[in-house]
Structure 1
Amino acid sequence: MRLILLGAPGAGKGTVAKMLTALDGSVQISTGDILRAAVKDGTELGKEAQGYMTRGELVPDSLIMGIMGERLLEDDCQGGFLLDGFPRTIPQAEELKALLAKLSIDLDFAVNLDVPRDVILDRLTTRRTCSNSDCAEIYNVKSKPPSVEGICDICGSPVIQRDDETEEAISKRLDTFNEQTAPLVDFYTGEDMLLNVNATSSDVVVDAIKEKLGS
Protein backbone atom coordinates (compact mmCIF):
# COMPACT_ATOMS: atom_id res chain seq x y z
CA MET A 1 0.00 0.00 0.00
CA ARG A 2 1.06 3.58 -0.66
CA LEU A 3 -0.94 5.95 1.53
CA ILE A 4 -0.90 9.44 2.99
CA LEU A 5 -2.24 9.77 6.53
CA LEU A 6 -3.76 13.18 7.25
CA GLY A 7 -5.08 14.49 10.55
CA ALA A 8 -4.39 16.94 13.34
CA PRO A 9 -1.63 16.32 15.90
CA GLY A 10 -2.94 13.58 18.19
CA ALA A 11 -5.41 12.18 15.66
CA GLY A 12 -3.64 8.82 15.84
CA LYS A 13 -1.66 8.82 12.59
CA GLY A 14 1.33 7.09 14.15
CA THR A 15 -0.77 4.38 15.82
CA VAL A 16 -2.70 3.68 12.62
CA ALA A 17 0.52 3.60 10.60
CA LYS A 18 2.06 0.99 12.88
CA MET A 19 -1.07 -1.17 12.62
CA LEU A 20 -1.03 -0.92 8.83
CA THR A 21 2.67 -1.68 8.42
CA ALA A 22 2.09 -4.90 10.34
CA LEU A 23 -0.33 -6.00 7.60
CA ASP A 24 1.98 -6.02 4.59
CA GLY A 25 5.39 -4.71 5.60
CA SER A 26 4.90 -1.20 4.21
CA VAL A 27 7.26 1.37 5.71
CA GLN A 28 6.03 4.13 8.02
CA ILE A 29 7.62 7.47 7.13
CA SER A 30 7.22 10.22 9.72
CA THR A 31 9.02 13.50 9.18
CA GLY A 32 8.49 14.19 12.88
CA ASP A 33 10.57 11.16 13.89
CA ILE A 34 13.26 12.06 11.36
CA LEU A 35 13.44 15.64 12.62
CA ARG A 36 13.45 14.67 16.31
CA ALA A 37 16.34 12.29 15.63
CA ALA A 38 18.20 15.16 13.95
CA VAL A 39 17.53 17.39 16.98
CA LYS A 40 18.88 14.73 19.34
CA ASP A 41 21.98 14.22 17.20
CA GLY A 42 22.60 17.97 17.08
CA THR A 43 22.84 18.11 13.31
CA GLU A 44 22.62 21.42 11.46
CA LEU A 45 19.10 20.52 10.33
CA GLY A 46 18.16 19.50 13.84
CA LYS A 47 19.33 22.76 15.40
CA GLU A 48 17.39 24.77 12.84
CA ALA A 49 14.25 22.65 13.19
CA GLN A 50 14.29 22.58 17.00
CA GLY A 51 13.15 26.18 17.37
CA TYR A 52 10.10 25.60 15.18
CA MET A 53 9.16 22.31 16.85
CA THR A 54 9.33 23.54 20.45
CA ARG A 55 7.13 26.51 19.54
CA GLY A 56 4.58 24.19 17.95
CA GLU A 57 5.18 25.69 14.50
CA LEU A 58 5.54 23.86 11.20
CA VAL A 59 9.09 23.23 10.01
CA PRO A 60 9.63 25.07 6.67
CA ASP A 61 9.38 23.19 3.39
CA SER A 62 13.06 23.88 2.71
CA LEU A 63 13.97 21.58 5.61
CA ILE A 64 11.52 18.86 4.66
CA MET A 65 11.35 18.20 0.92
CA GLY A 66 14.96 17.09 0.44
CA ILE A 67 14.67 14.60 3.29
CA MET A 68 11.47 13.14 1.87
CA GLY A 69 12.85 12.78 -1.65
CA GLU A 70 15.86 10.83 -0.38
CA ARG A 71 13.71 8.68 1.90
CA LEU A 72 11.36 7.53 -0.87
CA LEU A 73 14.34 6.32 -2.90
CA GLU A 74 15.56 3.96 -0.18
CA ASP A 75 15.15 0.24 -0.84
CA ASP A 76 12.72 -0.42 2.01
CA CYS A 77 10.12 1.90 0.44
CA GLN A 78 9.83 -0.09 -2.76
CA GLY A 79 7.28 -2.49 -1.26
CA GLY A 80 5.00 0.28 -0.03
CA PHE A 81 4.96 3.20 2.38
CA LEU A 82 2.72 5.25 4.67
CA LEU A 83 3.39 8.97 4.85
CA ASP A 84 2.57 9.84 8.46
CA GLY A 85 1.75 13.55 8.71
CA PHE A 86 3.23 14.53 5.35
CA PRO A 87 2.48 16.60 3.34
CA ARG A 88 1.44 19.35 5.73
CA THR A 89 0.75 22.18 3.29
CA ILE A 90 -0.67 22.62 -0.20
CA PRO A 91 2.77 23.53 -1.65
CA GLN A 92 4.20 20.33 -0.12
CA ALA A 93 1.31 18.33 -1.60
CA GLU A 94 1.97 19.79 -5.03
CA GLU A 95 5.72 19.14 -4.77
CA LEU A 96 5.06 15.60 -3.53
CA LYS A 97 2.73 14.96 -6.47
CA ALA A 98 5.48 16.07 -8.87
CA LEU A 99 8.10 14.01 -7.04
CA LEU A 100 6.01 10.83 -7.11
CA ALA A 101 5.28 11.33 -10.81
CA LYS A 102 9.01 11.71 -11.46
CA LEU A 103 9.69 8.50 -9.53
CA SER A 104 6.76 6.70 -11.25
CA ILE A 105 5.12 6.01 -7.89
CA ASP A 106 1.30 5.83 -7.74
CA LEU A 107 -0.45 6.67 -4.47
CA ASP A 108 -3.46 4.56 -3.49
CA PHE A 109 -5.20 7.40 -1.63
CA ALA A 110 -5.00 9.85 1.27
CA VAL A 111 -6.76 9.07 4.56
CA ASN A 112 -8.09 11.89 6.75
CA LEU A 113 -8.34 10.93 10.44
CA ASP A 114 -11.16 13.10 11.81
CA VAL A 115 -11.04 13.58 15.62
CA PRO A 116 -12.74 16.28 17.79
CA ARG A 117 -10.43 18.97 19.22
CA ASP A 118 -11.26 18.18 22.87
CA VAL A 119 -10.32 14.53 22.35
CA ILE A 120 -7.00 15.55 20.81
CA LEU A 121 -6.17 17.92 23.67
CA ASP A 122 -6.81 15.16 26.21
CA ARG A 123 -4.76 12.64 24.25
CA LEU A 124 -1.71 14.85 23.83
CA THR A 125 -1.51 16.46 27.27
CA THR A 126 -1.46 12.96 28.79
CA ARG A 127 0.89 11.45 26.20
CA ARG A 128 4.45 10.51 27.05
CA THR A 129 7.22 9.35 24.69
CA CYS A 130 10.35 7.24 25.12
CA SER A 131 13.32 9.62 24.95
CA ASN A 132 15.30 7.11 22.86
CA SER A 133 14.63 8.15 19.23
CA ASP A 134 15.43 4.61 18.05
CA CYS A 135 12.53 3.35 20.18
CA ALA A 136 10.11 6.32 20.54
CA GLU A 137 7.45 4.10 22.16
CA ILE A 138 4.28 6.07 22.98
CA TYR A 139 2.58 5.94 26.39
CA ASN A 140 -0.41 7.66 28.01
CA VAL A 141 -0.56 8.41 31.72
CA LYS A 142 -4.28 7.52 31.73
CA SER A 143 -4.71 4.65 29.30
CA LYS A 144 -1.23 3.18 28.74
CA PRO A 145 1.28 4.08 31.46
CA PRO A 146 4.69 2.35 31.52
CA SER A 147 4.99 -0.53 33.98
CA VAL A 148 7.55 1.48 35.96
CA GLU A 149 6.73 5.18 36.15
CA GLY A 150 9.00 7.23 33.91
CA ILE A 151 10.78 4.21 32.39
CA CYS A 152 10.18 2.73 28.93
CA ASP A 153 8.96 -0.89 28.99
CA ILE A 154 10.77 -1.62 25.72
CA CYS A 155 14.28 -0.20 26.11
CA GLY A 156 14.53 1.17 29.66
CA SER A 157 15.12 4.78 28.61
CA PRO A 158 13.41 7.69 30.39
CA VAL A 159 9.82 8.43 29.34
CA ILE A 160 9.22 12.15 28.86
CA GLN A 161 6.60 14.73 27.93
CA ARG A 162 7.74 16.38 24.71
CA ASP A 163 8.19 20.16 24.75
CA ASP A 164 5.58 20.50 22.00
CA GLU A 165 2.95 18.55 23.99
CA THR A 166 2.23 21.07 26.72
CA GLU A 167 -1.34 22.43 26.59
CA GLU A 168 -0.17 25.82 25.28
CA ALA A 169 1.99 24.31 22.54
CA ILE A 170 -0.74 21.84 21.54
CA SER A 171 -3.34 24.59 21.20
CA LYS A 172 -0.98 26.51 18.95
CA ARG A 173 -0.23 23.38 16.90
CA LEU A 174 -3.95 22.79 16.38
CA ASP A 175 -4.47 26.40 15.30
CA THR A 176 -1.55 26.07 12.87
CA PHE A 177 -3.00 22.82 11.55
CA ASN A 178 -6.41 24.36 10.92
CA GLU A 179 -4.82 27.25 9.05
CA GLN A 180 -2.18 25.47 6.96
CA THR A 181 -2.85 21.73 6.89
CA ALA A 182 -6.63 21.25 6.94
CA PRO A 183 -6.91 22.54 3.31
CA LEU A 184 -5.23 19.29 2.24
CA VAL A 185 -8.60 17.59 2.73
CA ASP A 186 -9.98 19.75 -0.08
CA PHE A 187 -6.84 19.20 -2.17
CA TYR A 188 -7.08 15.40 -2.09
CA THR A 189 -10.86 15.53 -2.49
CA GLY A 190 -10.21 17.43 -5.71
CA GLU A 191 -7.73 14.74 -6.74
CA ASP A 192 -10.45 12.12 -6.05
CA MET A 193 -8.07 10.46 -3.60
CA LEU A 194 -9.56 11.14 -0.15
CA LEU A 195 -10.93 8.65 2.39
CA ASN A 196 -12.43 10.47 5.41
CA VAL A 197 -12.76 8.38 8.59
CA ASN A 198 -14.02 9.10 12.11
CA ALA A 199 -10.81 8.25 13.94
CA THR A 200 -11.83 8.00 17.59
CA SER A 201 -10.93 4.29 17.20
CA SER A 202 -7.77 3.18 15.38
CA ASP A 203 -9.35 -0.21 14.62
CA VAL A 204 -12.20 1.50 12.75
CA VAL A 205 -9.68 3.44 10.65
CA VAL A 206 -7.70 0.33 9.74
CA ASP A 207 -10.86 -1.58 8.79
CA ALA A 208 -12.01 1.30 6.55
CA ILE A 209 -8.63 1.41 4.81
CA LYS A 210 -8.57 -2.35 4.28
CA GLU A 211 -12.08 -2.20 2.82
CA LYS A 212 -11.13 0.57 0.36
CA LEU A 213 -8.00 -1.33 -0.64
CA GLY A 214 -10.20 -4.34 -1.30
CA SER A 215 -8.45 -6.61 1.17
Structure 2
Amino acid sequence: MRLIFLGPPGAGKGTQAKRLTEKYGIPQLSTGDMLRAAVKAETDVGKRAKAVMDAGGLVSDDIVNQIVSDRIQEADCVKGFILDGYPRTVPQAKALADNLKSLGLQLDAVIELKVDEDALVRRIESRVAETLAAGGTVRSDDNPEAFRKRLSEYREKTAPLSQHYAGTGELVTVDGMADVDAVTASIENVLEKASA
Protein backbone atom coordinates (compact mmCIF):
# COMPACT_ATOMS: atom_id res chain seq x y z
CA MET A 1 0.00 0.00 0.00
CA ARG A 2 1.65 3.18 -1.22
CA LEU A 3 -0.06 6.43 -0.19
CA ILE A 4 0.40 10.16 -0.27
CA PHE A 5 -1.39 12.37 2.25
CA LEU A 6 -2.22 15.93 1.20
CA GLY A 7 -3.76 18.65 3.31
CA PRO A 8 -2.79 21.86 5.06
CA PRO A 9 -1.03 22.01 8.44
CA GLY A 10 -3.38 20.92 11.22
CA ALA A 11 -5.58 18.80 8.93
CA GLY A 12 -4.79 15.62 10.87
CA LYS A 13 -2.40 13.93 8.42
CA GLY A 14 -0.01 12.90 11.19
CA THR A 15 -2.77 11.39 13.34
CA GLN A 16 -4.19 9.39 10.43
CA ALA A 17 -0.75 8.27 9.20
CA LYS A 18 0.07 6.97 12.69
CA ARG A 19 -3.11 4.88 12.74
CA LEU A 20 -2.38 3.40 9.31
CA THR A 21 1.25 2.60 10.12
CA GLU A 22 0.10 0.69 13.21
CA LYS A 23 -2.65 -1.17 11.38
CA TYR A 24 -0.75 -2.07 8.19
CA GLY A 25 2.83 -2.22 9.43
CA ILE A 26 4.10 0.27 6.85
CA PRO A 27 6.33 3.27 7.59
CA GLN A 28 5.32 6.92 7.48
CA LEU A 29 8.04 8.73 5.56
CA SER A 30 8.57 12.38 6.31
CA THR A 31 10.94 14.35 4.09
CA GLY A 32 12.72 15.93 7.06
CA ASP A 33 13.34 12.55 8.73
CA MET A 34 14.59 11.03 5.45
CA LEU A 35 16.92 13.97 4.87
CA ARG A 36 18.38 13.79 8.40
CA ALA A 37 18.81 10.00 8.11
CA ALA A 38 20.65 10.29 4.76
CA VAL A 39 22.97 12.97 6.19
CA LYS A 40 23.63 10.90 9.33
CA ALA A 41 24.27 7.72 7.29
CA GLU A 42 26.67 9.73 5.10
CA THR A 43 25.24 8.29 1.89
CA ASP A 44 26.40 9.98 -1.33
CA VAL A 45 23.17 11.95 -1.59
CA GLY A 46 23.29 12.65 2.17
CA LYS A 47 26.73 14.23 1.78
CA ARG A 48 25.42 16.38 -1.09
CA ALA A 49 22.46 17.46 1.05
CA LYS A 50 24.71 18.26 4.03
CA ALA A 51 26.97 20.46 1.89
CA VAL A 52 23.95 22.47 0.69
CA MET A 53 22.44 22.77 4.19
CA ASP A 54 25.80 23.72 5.75
CA ALA A 55 26.05 26.52 3.18
CA GLY A 56 22.58 27.71 4.26
CA GLY A 57 20.91 26.71 0.99
CA LEU A 58 17.68 24.89 0.25
CA VAL A 59 18.08 21.27 -0.77
CA SER A 60 17.24 20.89 -4.49
CA ASP A 61 14.47 18.73 -5.90
CA ASP A 62 17.11 16.42 -7.39
CA ILE A 63 18.55 15.68 -3.96
CA VAL A 64 15.15 15.28 -2.29
CA ASN A 65 13.90 13.03 -5.10
CA GLN A 66 17.01 10.83 -4.79
CA ILE A 67 16.65 10.58 -1.00
CA VAL A 68 13.01 9.49 -1.38
CA SER A 69 13.96 7.03 -4.14
CA ASP A 70 16.63 5.45 -1.94
CA ARG A 71 14.32 5.33 1.10
CA ILE A 72 11.36 3.64 -0.61
CA GLN A 73 13.66 0.84 -1.74
CA GLU A 74 14.57 -0.11 1.84
CA ALA A 75 13.31 -3.39 3.31
CA ASP A 76 10.64 -1.85 5.59
CA CYS A 77 8.91 -0.33 2.52
CA VAL A 78 8.31 -3.64 0.75
CA LYS A 79 4.66 -3.73 1.94
CA GLY A 80 4.25 -0.02 1.24
CA PHE A 81 4.66 3.41 2.79
CA ILE A 82 2.89 6.68 3.52
CA LEU A 83 4.52 9.83 2.15
CA ASP A 84 3.95 12.87 4.32
CA GLY A 85 5.35 16.21 3.14
CA TYR A 86 6.48 14.83 -0.22
CA PRO A 87 5.89 15.58 -2.97
CA ARG A 88 5.55 19.30 -2.26
CA THR A 89 5.47 20.45 -5.88
CA VAL A 90 4.17 19.17 -9.21
CA PRO A 91 7.74 18.57 -10.54
CA GLN A 92 8.41 16.40 -7.45
CA ALA A 93 5.14 14.53 -8.09
CA LYS A 94 6.21 13.83 -11.68
CA ALA A 95 9.66 12.68 -10.52
CA LEU A 96 8.00 10.35 -7.98
CA ALA A 97 5.75 8.85 -10.69
CA ASP A 98 8.78 8.21 -12.92
CA ASN A 99 10.70 6.75 -10.01
CA LEU A 100 7.87 4.39 -8.99
CA LYS A 101 7.37 3.34 -12.63
CA SER A 102 11.08 2.48 -12.96
CA LEU A 103 10.71 0.27 -9.85
CA GLY A 104 7.56 -1.39 -11.23
CA LEU A 105 5.43 0.23 -8.52
CA GLN A 106 2.49 2.64 -8.42
CA LEU A 107 0.57 4.67 -5.88
CA ASP A 108 -2.55 3.11 -4.41
CA ALA A 109 -4.06 6.46 -3.47
CA VAL A 110 -3.46 10.15 -2.97
CA ILE A 111 -5.72 11.17 -0.11
CA GLU A 112 -6.43 14.82 0.55
CA LEU A 113 -7.90 15.79 3.90
CA LYS A 114 -10.27 18.67 3.10
CA VAL A 115 -10.64 21.11 5.96
CA ASP A 116 -12.19 24.47 6.78
CA GLU A 117 -9.17 26.72 7.27
CA ASP A 118 -11.04 29.22 9.46
CA ALA A 119 -12.07 26.36 11.75
CA LEU A 120 -8.42 25.24 11.94
CA VAL A 121 -7.39 28.76 13.01
CA ARG A 122 -10.12 28.72 15.68
CA ARG A 123 -8.79 25.32 16.88
CA ILE A 124 -5.31 26.80 17.25
CA GLU A 125 -6.72 29.83 19.12
CA SER A 126 -8.60 27.62 21.59
CA ARG A 127 -5.59 25.28 22.01
CA VAL A 128 -3.38 28.29 22.82
CA ALA A 129 -5.97 29.60 25.29
CA GLU A 130 -6.29 26.18 26.98
CA THR A 131 -2.50 25.79 27.22
CA LEU A 132 -2.09 29.23 28.76
CA ALA A 133 -5.02 28.70 31.15
CA ALA A 134 -3.37 25.46 32.33
CA GLY A 135 -0.13 27.39 32.97
CA GLY A 136 1.63 25.78 30.02
CA THR A 137 4.01 27.25 27.49
CA VAL A 138 2.90 27.83 23.92
CA ARG A 139 5.30 26.85 21.11
CA SER A 140 6.51 29.85 19.12
CA ASP A 141 4.92 28.53 15.90
CA ASP A 142 1.68 27.58 17.63
CA ASN A 143 -0.12 30.89 17.26
CA PRO A 144 -2.86 32.02 14.88
CA GLU A 145 -0.64 34.46 12.92
CA ALA A 146 2.13 31.92 12.26
CA PHE A 147 -0.49 29.30 11.47
CA ARG A 148 -2.23 31.57 8.92
CA LYS A 149 1.15 32.14 7.27
CA ARG A 150 1.74 28.36 7.04
CA LEU A 151 -1.75 27.90 5.52
CA SER A 152 -1.06 30.60 2.95
CA GLU A 153 2.28 29.01 2.05
CA TYR A 154 0.57 25.63 1.72
CA ARG A 155 -2.06 27.06 -0.64
CA GLU A 156 0.58 28.69 -2.84
CA LYS A 157 3.10 25.86 -3.09
CA THR A 158 1.37 22.58 -2.37
CA ALA A 159 -2.28 23.06 -3.36
CA PRO A 160 -1.42 22.72 -7.11
CA LEU A 161 -0.67 19.08 -6.27
CA SER A 162 -4.39 18.55 -5.71
CA GLN A 163 -5.09 19.66 -9.28
CA HIS A 164 -2.22 17.52 -10.59
CA TYR A 165 -3.45 14.35 -8.87
CA ALA A 166 -7.08 15.11 -9.79
CA GLY A 167 -5.83 15.22 -13.38
CA THR A 168 -4.11 11.83 -13.07
CA GLY A 169 -7.26 10.34 -11.48
CA GLU A 170 -5.41 9.41 -8.28
CA LEU A 171 -6.86 12.05 -5.94
CA VAL A 172 -9.52 11.12 -3.40
CA THR A 173 -10.78 13.73 -0.95
CA VAL A 174 -11.88 12.95 2.59
CA ASP A 175 -13.67 15.29 5.00
CA GLY A 176 -10.89 16.15 7.44
CA MET A 177 -13.30 18.10 9.68
CA ALA A 178 -15.16 14.94 10.70
CA ASP A 179 -14.50 13.12 13.96
CA VAL A 180 -11.05 11.43 13.99
CA ASP A 181 -12.55 7.92 13.88
CA ALA A 182 -14.87 8.90 11.02
CA VAL A 183 -11.89 10.24 9.05
CA THR A 184 -10.05 6.95 9.65
CA ALA A 185 -13.09 4.98 8.47
CA SER A 186 -13.31 7.11 5.30
CA ILE A 187 -9.62 6.56 4.57
CA GLU A 188 -9.94 2.81 5.09
CA ASN A 189 -12.91 2.79 2.73
CA VAL A 190 -10.74 4.48 0.06
CA LEU A 191 -7.99 1.90 0.63
CA GLU A 192 -10.41 -1.03 0.35
CA LYS A 193 -11.64 0.32 -3.02
CA ALA A 194 -8.03 0.86 -4.18
CA SER A 195 -7.02 -2.70 -3.35
CA ALA A 196 -10.17 -4.25 -4.84
Which TM class, normalised by the smaller chain length? 0.7 to 0.9
Separation (CA, whole Å) in 2 of partners of 1:35 and 1:7? 21
Separation (CA, whole Å) in 2 of partners of 1:125 and 1:61? 35
Give the TM-score, by structure 1 length.
0.70
- The structure whose residues are more often helix, as a share, is 2
Are the aligned partners of 1:7 and 1:85 in contact in 2 as well (CA < 8 Å)? no
Residue identity matched to 2:115? V
Report % sequence identity.
43
Separation (CA, whole Å) in 2 of partners of 1:166 and 1:34? 27
Moved more, 116-125 or 184-193: 116-125
Measure how far apart 1:118 and its partner are: 2.2
Moved more, 11-20 or 60-69: 60-69
Are the aligned partners of 2:109 and 2:191 in contact in 1 as well (CA < 8 Å)? no
Separation (CA, whole Å) in 2 of partners of 1:16 and 1:193? 19
Give the TM-score, by structure 2 length.
0.76
Aligned length: 183
Q: 2:5 — aligned with what?
A: 5
- Once superposed, what is the RMSD of the aligned Cα atoms? 3.6
Counting only pairs closer than 5 Å after superposition, residues 4-83 of structure 1 correspond to structure 2 as: 4-35=4-35, 45=49, 48=53, 60-83=60-83
Runs of 5+ consecutive residues of structure 2 not aligned to the other structure: 41-45
Are the aligned partners of 1:13 and 1:85 in contact in 2 as well (CA < 8 Å)? no
Are the aligned partners of 2:20 and 2:26 in contact in 1 as well (CA < 8 Å)? yes
Secondary structure at the aligned position of 2:87 is classed as coil
Runs of 5+ consecutive residues of structure 1 not aligned to the other structure: 53-57, 128-139, 151-159
- Distance of aligned partners of 1:181 and 1:80 in 2 relative to their CA distance in 1, 3 Å threshold: same
Moved more, 179-188 or 197-206: 197-206
Secondary structure at the aligned position of 1:214 is classed as helix
Counting only pairs closer than 5 Å after superposition, residues 107-126 of structure 1 correspond to structure 2 as: 107-123=107-123
Measure how far apart 1:24 and its partner are: 1.2
Q: 1:193 aligns with which of 170, 183, 187?
A: 170
Moved more, 96-105 or 117-126: 117-126
Residue identity matched to 1:61? D
